[in-house]
Amino acid sequence: MYRRLREKGWDIIVYFSGHGLTDPEDKSNYLLPVDANPDNVSATAYRLDALYRNLRRLTDGKITVILEACFSGRTPKGQIGGKTSGVVIVEPGKNAPPGIDILAAAHSDQVANWYEEQQHGLFTYYLMRALRGDADANGDGKVVGAELQDYVTREVSRLSDRVGVAYQEPEIMVAPDWVWTE
């Protein structure tokens, strides 16, 4: 698979929905699978910068990482784990290699809110609406990176206090002219 991806320059999209956490010891962001131990993330979770590096090794094509997760260590039910802390803040896109688009549900010190009415994360709901065409600000039948970023950021930020537990502003770093849908 590696050789085929590399030879053809395939585009890759990774979508992760779950918890993220910043390890206070190594100050790295981790994605927490369901069986991760939040008190031992370096041994049981997946380091985000390793994901970025490994994806870049797979292809010279476009890479997009979508994170319906936050890295604050907080949930509506409280803090994740006993040893972790939301005090250590590292933005999810900070260590991304050039050429990787990052769409993160929230900044590192924020909670990614659940949108109960729609049964999705608030960020995912508005990302899907953007990709269906709601973000087409100029009416040309295309949604480009700048339109997607503006729409999702505006809508999530606008609605987060009303439907969630806290203010949420996505962190979106995408090529402004890349056509997402047409």
* Mean pLDDT, the chain, whole residue set: 85
At 135-174, the pLDDT tens digits run: 999 999 999 999 999 999 999 999 998 887 789 999 999 9
At 137-147, the pLDDT tens digits run: 999 999 999 99
DSSP category for residue 121: E
Q: What is the mean pLDDT of residues 71-97?
A: 58
Q: Look up the CATH architecture of domain 2-181.
A: 3-Layer(aba) Sandwich (3.40)
Strand ranges for the chain from DSSP E: 12-17, 19-22, 29-32, 46-47, 63-68, 74-75, 78-79, 100-104, 114-115, 120-121, 143-144, 171-173, 179-181
Dist CA 166 CA 108 (whole Å):
13
pLDDT, residue 109, reads 79
Question: Count of CB atoms within 10 A of residue 54's CB?
Answer: 11
pLDDT, residue 135, reads 98
Domain locations in the chain as residue ranges: 2-181
- Whether residue 46 contacts residue 31, with contact meaning beta carbons closer than 8 Å, is answered with yes
At 15-68, the pLDDT tens digits run: 999 888 888 788 888 998 888 888 888 899 999 999 998 998 888 888 999 999
pLDDT at 85 over 90: no
Dist CA 118 CA 109 (whole Å):
24
Please name which of 80, 67, 87 lies closest in space to residue 27, comparing C-alpha atoms.
87
